[in-house]
C-alpha cells in the first residue's frame, strides 16, 4: 500500500528544499560561532530559572567587606589581621581553609605572624596565579606554604566576559601540573569521607572522586565553538539560590559573633567581598542582588559545592551530547517545522502549532538542563520557527494556486455536466429520431425549441454557479441546494430533481426503492457534500441515458456497521465498451475518476460493477470513524 501519492510527494517538495536550506544555514551559523553568544544566554537563563536550592552548609565564606576595611584602616589587609583570622578559625576545627587573597609579598605589619600561622595550620590552602595574564606575568604563592597547600585561582572568562567554566588543573610554564584552589578544598573535604581523587574511568584525563567522574570540558561542548579547552576544565553548575552559602564578615569571626557549628568540620573560604576591592566577576547564571556580578570567592565556593555535592549527593554535573547527536537534534526540529508548515491550513493554525512546538522545545530543554544535560535549544528553535512560519507561506501560496486551478477545472466540469445532461441528450434524441424519420415537422420543431432553451439556460446556470456562495450548489438548470443542510436531505433533493429529467431510460422504470438515512458522521465539509451531490447526479444520469430496459431502480444512503454507504443499482442492460466505445469512455471514464477522487478525499472506496444477469451498481463507501487530525480538515 502506497503511503503517499505522487501529488502528495510533489506538495511536500515545495517546502522541503527551502526547509533544508534553512537547516543548513543554521548549522553553518552554529559551526562558525554566530549563535554562540545566544546559546550562552540561553544556558544562563535556564540556570537562573531553576528551582531554588537550599544553602550548602558545608561551606562558609568569610567575606572581608567594606566595613572591615574601614575598621582596619588600610587595604590590602595586613598580614597580622589575616594571621589572627586564621588562628581564630583553626580553633573551630574546620576541614579546610581556603584563602582567596594573594600573599606573594609581605603586607606589614605582621608578616612573621602570618608565616607562623601558615606553618602551624596544616589545613590552610593559599593561592597563586599559574597562567600568564595579559602582561605575561604570573603571581607566586605565599613563599612559606608547601606546594601541596597551594592551588591556583585562575578564572577563565568567555568571550562575553562571563564565567561559566572552572579550570581544575593545568601545567604552568615550568611544566609542573597544578591543581586549583577549588579542587584542593574539595579533595581535603572528601578525604574525610573516605573519597579520594583519581583519574576518570571513562575519560582518563578527567578527574574523579569515588565513582563520580567530573565531565571534562571540550572545545565544542554544548554551545561553545572551538574555544580553548586547555588543562582540565568543567562547566560550572552554579547552585541556584539567592543565598547559596553562609557569609560572615571578618568582624564576626574576630568578635566571636558566630555559631561554632558553621565552621566545625566545614570548608571555610576567605575572600574579599568589598565593591571597592574590585574582586568581582560577571556571572549571569545565578540570581543575585547585583545582577550579573558575583564576588570571586563565591565562584570558588560554587565550584567546590558542585564537586562535593556530585560526589556525596549525586547532584548533576553539566553534560553535553556529542556533536553528531546535537546536529541530529537540530535537524529533527527543522523537519518538524517543515511538517507543521505543510499540515496547517491557516496562518492562525500555523502560529498556534509552531508556538506549542516552540514552548515544548524550550520546556524540554529546560527539564533536561535540570537533569544535567545542556542541549542546543537556540539553533533548534531557529529551524523550528523559521521553517514552521516562513515555509507555511510557500504552502499557502501553492494551496491558493491549486485552489484556483481546481475552481477553473470545476467550472469546466460543471459546464460539461450541464451540457452533457441537457442539450446533448436532447440533440441525441433528435438525431436518433431523424435517422429513422420518427419525427414529424411539428415534433422536430418542438425538440429544436427545447434544445434552444436548454442551450440558453446553460449560460445562466454557469453564471449563477460562478456567483454562488460556498455553501450552495446548482443541480441541473434550476435547482439550488443549501449545503449546510443534512447530507441525506440534500441527496434526496438531487435524486428527485435528476429523475425528473427527460431521459429515455427513466420512462421504463416501474419500481423505485429509495432509502435516505443520516450520514453526517463524521461531519462532512462543504466540498465533500458538493462532491457527493455530483456523484449522485452523475450515477442517476448514467442510468437515465444508458440503462436500456431498466424497470427497477434502487437508491440507498445508509450507515451500517461503521460505514457510510451510497449505492445506486439498476437492472437495465447498460452499455458495453465494445458496442459503444465513445459513449463508454465519456460516461464511465470521467465520472469514475471523479468518484475515485471523492472516495480518496473521504478515505473510502468507490466501486462500479456489472450485475448478473443484468444491471449495474455504483457504490461509494467510507468509514464513520474520523482518523484525521484537526489541522488536516
> 377-421 and 590-602 are packed helices; what angle lies between their axes, rounded to 10 degrees?
140
- 259 and 350 in a single domain? The answer is no
- 270 and 236 in a single domain? The answer is yes
* pLDDT in the model for residue 141: 93
Give 289's pLDDT tier (boundaries 50, 70, 90): low
Is pLDDT at 421 greater than 80 in this prediction? no
Q: Are 455 and 423 within 8 A, CB to CB? A: yes
Write 623-629 long-range contacts (CB < 8 A, 24+): 623/562, 623/563, 623/564, 624/521, 624/522, 624/559, 624/562, 624/563, 624/564, 625/522, 625/562, 626/522, 627/603, 628/603, 629/343
Across residues 388-408, what is the average pLDDT?
Answer: 78
Is pLDDT at 583 greater than 70 in this prediction? no
Q: Per the structure block, which three cell numbers stand in for 235? A: 562547566
Is pLDDT at 570 greater than 50 in this prediction? yes
User: Distance between CA atoms of 42 and 133, rounded to whole angstroms?
Assistant: 29
207 domain-assigned: yes
Give the containing element (helix H, strand E) for 232: strand 232-235
The larger pLDDT score, comparing residue 479 to residue 254, is at 254
User: Distance between CA atoms of 166 and 183, rounded to whole angstroms?
Assistant: 10
Across residues 505-533, what is the average pLDDT?
Answer: 89
Pairing of strands 150-152, 156-157: unpaired
Least confident interval from 54-68, 180-194, 407-421, 578-592: 578-592
Q: Are 622 and 571 within 8 A, CB to CB? A: no
Is pLDDT at 393 greater than 90 in this prediction? no
User: Distance between CA atoms of 608 and 336, rounded to whole angstroms?
Assistant: 41
Instruction: Out of 320, 337, 355, pick the residue that ends a domain.
Output: 320
Edge-to-edge strand list for the sheet holding 96-99: 150-152, 124-128, 96-99, 267-272, 59-64, 246-249
Other Cβ atoms less than 10 A from the Cβ of 72: the count is 16
Q: Are 575 and 394 within 8 A, CB to CB? A: no
The larger pLDDT score, comparing residue 16 to residue 1, is at 16
User: Distance between CA atoms of 297 and 61, rounded to whole angstroms?
Assistant: 8
- 263 and 304 in a single domain? The answer is yes
Is pLDDT at 582 greater than 60 in this prediction? no
Is residue 92 helix, strand or coil?
Answer: coil
The average confidence (pLDDT) of the chain is 87
Peptide bond into 522 cis (omega under 30): yes
Instruction: Out of 289, 320, 351, pick the residue that ends a domain.
Output: 320
- 260 and 348 in a single domain? The answer is no
Across residues 117-124, what is the average pLDDT?
Answer: 95
Is pLDDT at 14 greater than 60 in this prediction? yes
- 353 and 265 in a single domain? The answer is no
216-250 residue pLDDT tens = 999 999 999 999 999 999 999 999 988 999 999 99
425-444 residue pLDDT tens = 778 777 767 776 666 777 77
Size of the chain, expressed as the number of residues it contains: 633
450 domain-assigned: no
Other Cβ atoms less than 10 A from the Cβ of 445: the count is 11
Q: Are 151 and 180 within 8 A, CB to CB? A: yes
* pLDDT in the model for residue 109: 94
* pLDDT in the model for residue 1: 41
Is pLDDT at 478 greater than 70 in this prediction? no
Q: Are 591 and 540 within 8 A, CB to CB? A: no
Other Cβ atoms less than 10 A from the Cβ of 586: the count is 14
Beta bridge mates, 473: 481
Instruction: Out of 367, 396, 425, pick the residue that ends a domain.
Output: 396
Is pLDDT at 350 greater than 70 in this prediction? yes
- 75 and 135 in a single domain? The answer is yes
Q: Residue 580: give the domain boundaries.
A: 481-633
476 domain-assigned: no
Is pLDDT at 392 greater than 70 in this prediction? yes
Strand segments, DSSP code E, in 87-196 are 96-99, 124-128, 150-152, 156-157, 163-171, 177-179
User: Distance between CA atoms of 81 and 125, rounded to whole angstroms?
Assistant: 17
Across residues 378-389, what is the average pLDDT?
Answer: 94
Q: Per the structure block, which three cell numbers stand in for 50? A: 531553576
* Eight-class DSSP state of 217: P
Residue 241's closest CA among 303, 302, 286, 289?
A: 286
The larger pLDDT score, comparing residue 583 to residue 18, is at 18
Q: Are 513 and 555 within 8 A, CB to CB? A: yes
Give the containing element (helix H, strand E) for 415: helix 377-421
Pairing of strands 511-516, 552-560: parallel
Who contacts 552 (Cβ-Cβ below 8 Å, separation ≥6)?
Answer: 509, 510, 511, 513, 570, 571
353-371 residue pLDDT tens = 999 999 999 999 999 999 9
* pLDDT in the model for residue 454: 74
* pLDDT in the model for residue 558: 93
The fraction of the chain above a pLDDT of 90, given in percent, is 60
Between CA 355 and CA 358, with CA 356 as vertex, the angle to 5 degrees is 60
- 228 and 184 in a single domain? The answer is yes
Q: Are 153 and 163 within 8 A, CB to CB? A: no
| CATH value at residue 487 | 3.30.565.10
Sign of the Cα torsion 543, 544, 547, 552 reads positive
Using only C-alpha atoms, what is the Rg of the chain?
42
* pLDDT in the model for residue 476: 63
Give 8's pLDDT tier (boundaries 50, 70, 90): low
- 76 and 184 in a single domain? The answer is yes
Total domains in the fold of the chain: 3
- 280 and 172 in a single domain? The answer is yes
Q: Are 592 and 599 within 8 A, CB to CB? A: no
Across residues 546-569, what is the average pLDDT?
Answer: 92
Across residues 464-491, what is the average pLDDT?
Answer: 77
- 119 and 230 in a single domain? The answer is yes
pTM to 2 decimals?
Answer: 0.71
Strand segments, DSSP code E, in 464-604 are 472-475, 479-482, 511-516, 552-560, 563-570
Least confident interval from 52-66, 142-156, 336-350, 401-415: 401-415
User: Distance between CA atoms of 255 and 457, rounded to whole angstroms?
Assistant: 110
- 338 and 245 in a single domain? The answer is no
187-198 residue pLDDT tens = 999 999 999 999
User: Distance between CA atoms of 198 and 377, rounded to whole angstroms?
Assistant: 34
347 domain-assigned: yes
Is residue 184 helix, strand or coil?
Answer: helix
User: Distance between CA atoms of 218 and 227, rounded to whole angstroms?
Assistant: 8
Is pLDDT at 380 greater than 50 in this prediction? yes
The string of DSSP letters for 5-46 reads -HHHHHHHHHHHHHHHHHHHHHHHHHHTTTTHHHHHHHHHHH
169 domain-assigned: yes
454 domain-assigned: no
Residue 354's closest CA among 344, 369, 363, 366?
A: 344
Who contacts 55 (Cβ-Cβ below 8 Å, separation ≥6)?
Answer: 241, 243, 244, 245, 246
438 domain-assigned: no
**Exposed/middle/buried for residue 395 (C-beta within 10 Å: 0-12, 13-18, 19+):** buried
428 domain-assigned: no
Is pLDDT at 586 greater than 70 in this prediction? no
Give 577's pLDDT tier (boundaries 50, 70, 90): very low
Is pLDDT at 58 greater than 60 in this prediction? yes
* pLDDT in the model for residue 390: 87
The fraction of the chain above a pLDDT of 70, given in percent, is 91
* pLDDT in the model for residue 406: 72
Is pLDDT at 343 greater than 80 in this prediction? yes
Residue labelled with grid coordinates 491549486: 402
User: Distance between CA atoms of 146 and 607, rounded to whole angstroms?
Assistant: 95
- 300 and 348 in a single domain? The answer is no
* pLDDT in the model for residue 507: 87
Q: Per the structure block, which three cell numbers stand in for 65? A: 567587606
Q: Are 552 and 510 within 8 A, CB to CB? A: yes
* pLDDT in the model for residue 408: 80
User: Distance between CA atoms of 511 and 522, rounded to whole angstroms?
Assistant: 32
Torsion of CA 59, 60, 65, 69, to 10 degrees: -120
The larger pLDDT score, comparing residue 582 to residue 83, is at 83
Give the containing element (helix H, strand E) for 620: strand 616-623
User: Distance between CA atoms of 318 and 335, rounded to whole angstroms?
Assistant: 28
Residue 189's closest CA among 54, 53, 55, 57?
A: 57
Amino acid at each position: 500500500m502506497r503511503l503517499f501519492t505522487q501529488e502528495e510527494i510533489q506538495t511536500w517538495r515545495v517546502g522541503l528544499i527551502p526547509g533544508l536550506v534553512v537547516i543548513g544555514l543554521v548549522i553553518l551559523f552554529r559551526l562558525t560561532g554566530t549563535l554562540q553568544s545566544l546559546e550562552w544566554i540561553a544556558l544562563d537563563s535556564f540556570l537562573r530559572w531553576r528551582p531554588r536550592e537550599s544553602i550548602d552548609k558545608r561551606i562558609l565564606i568569610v567575606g572581608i567587606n567594606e566595613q572591615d576595611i574601614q575598621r582596619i584602616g588600610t587595604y590590602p589587609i595586613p598580614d597580622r589581621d589575616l594571621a589572627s583570622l586564621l588562628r581564630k578559625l583553626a580553633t573551630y576545627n574546620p576541614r579546610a581553609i581556603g584563602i582567596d587573597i594573594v600573599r606573594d609579598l609581605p603586607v606589614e605589619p605582621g608578616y612573621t605572624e602570618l608565616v607562623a600561622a601558615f606553618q602551624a595550620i596544616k589545613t590552610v590552602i593559599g593561592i597563586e596565579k599559574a597562567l600568564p595574564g595579559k602582561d605575561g606575568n604570573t603571581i607566586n604563592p605565599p613563599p612559606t606554604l608547601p606546594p601541596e597547600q597551594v592551588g591556583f585561582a585562575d578564572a577563565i572568562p568567555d568571550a562575553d566576559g562571563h564565567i561559566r567554566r572552572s579550570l581544575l588543573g593545568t601545567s604552568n610554564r615550568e611544566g609542573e601540573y597544578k591543581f586549583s584552589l577549588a579542587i584542593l578544598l574539595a579533595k581535603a573535604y572528601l578525604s574525610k569521607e573516605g573519597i579520594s581523587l583519581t583519574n576518570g574511568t571513562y575519560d582518563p584525563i578527567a578527574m574523579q572522586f569515588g565513582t563520580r567522574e567530573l565531565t571534562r570540558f571540550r572545545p565544542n561542548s554544548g554551545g561553545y565553538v572551538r574555544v580553548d579547552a586547555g588543562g582540565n576544565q568543567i562547566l560550572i553548575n552554579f547552585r541556584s539560590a539567592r543565598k547559596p552559602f553562609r557569609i560572615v564578615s571578618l568582624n564576626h569571626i574576630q568578635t566571636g559573633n558566630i555559631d561554632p557549628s558553621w565552621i566545625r568540620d566545614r570548608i571555610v573560604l576567605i575572600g574579599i567581598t568589598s565593591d571597592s576591592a574590585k574582586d568581582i566577576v560577571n556571572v549571569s547564571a545565578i540570581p543575585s542582588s547585583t545582577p550579573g556580578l558575583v564576588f570571586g570567592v563565591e565562584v570558588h565556593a560554587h565550584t567546590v559545592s558542585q564537586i562535593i555535592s556530585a560526589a556525596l549527593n549525586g547532584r548533576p554535573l553539566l553534560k553535553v551530547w556529542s556533536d553528531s547527536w546535537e546536529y541530529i537534534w537540530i535537524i529533527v526540529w527543522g523537519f518538524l517545522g517543515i511538517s507543521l508548515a505543510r499540515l496547517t491550513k491557516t496562518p492562525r493554525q500555523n502560529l498556534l502549532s509552531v508556538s506549542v512546538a516552540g514552548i515544548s522545545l524550550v520546556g524540554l530543554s529546560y527539564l533536561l538542563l535540570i537533569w544535567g544535560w545542556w542541549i542546543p535549544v537556540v539553533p533548534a528553535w531557529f529551524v523550528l520557527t523559521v521553517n514552521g512560519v516562513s515555509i507555511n507561506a510557500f504552502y499557502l501560496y501553492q494551496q491558493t494556486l491549486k485552489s484556483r486551478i481546481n475552481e477553473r477545472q470545476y467550472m469546466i466540469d460543471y459546464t460539461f455536466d450541464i451540457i452533457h445532461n441537457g442539450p446533448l441528450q436532447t440533440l441525441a434524441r433528435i438525431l436518433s429520431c431523424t435517422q429513422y424519420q420518427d419525427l414529424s415537422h411539428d415534433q422536430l420543431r418542438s425538440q429544436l425549441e427545447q434544445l434552444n432553451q436548454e442551450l440558453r439556460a446553460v449560460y445562466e446556470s454557469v453564471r449563477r454557479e460562478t456567483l454562488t456562495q460556498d455553501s450552495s450548489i446548482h443541480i441541473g438548470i434550476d435547482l439550488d441546494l443549501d449545503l449546510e443542510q443534512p447530507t441525506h436531505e440534500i441527496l434526496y433533493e438531487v435524486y428527485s430533481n435528476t429523475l425528473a429529467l427527460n431521459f429515455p431510460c427513466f420512462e421504463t422504470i416501474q419500481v423505485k426503492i429509495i432509502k435516505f438515512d443520516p450520514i453526517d458522521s463524521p461531519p462532512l465539509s462543504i466540498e465533500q457534500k458538493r462532491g457527493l451531490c455530483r456523484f449522485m447526479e452523475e450515477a442517476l444520469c448514467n442510468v437515465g441515458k444508458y440503462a436500456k430496459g431498466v424497470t427497477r431502480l434502487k437508491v440507498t444512503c445508509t450507515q451500517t456497521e461503521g460505514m457510510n454507504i451510497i449505492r445506486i443499482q439498476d437492472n437495465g442492460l447498460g452499455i458495453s465498451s465494445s458496442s459503444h466505445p465513445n459513449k463508454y469512455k465519456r460516461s464511465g471514464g470521467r465520472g469514475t475518476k471523479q468518484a475515485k477522487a471523492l472516495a480518496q478525499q473521504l478515505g473510502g472506496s468507490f466501486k462500479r460493477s456489472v450485475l448478473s444477469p443484468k444491471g449495474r451498481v455504483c457504490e461509494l463507501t467510507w468509514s464513520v470513524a474520523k482518523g484525521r487530525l484537526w489541522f488536516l480538515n
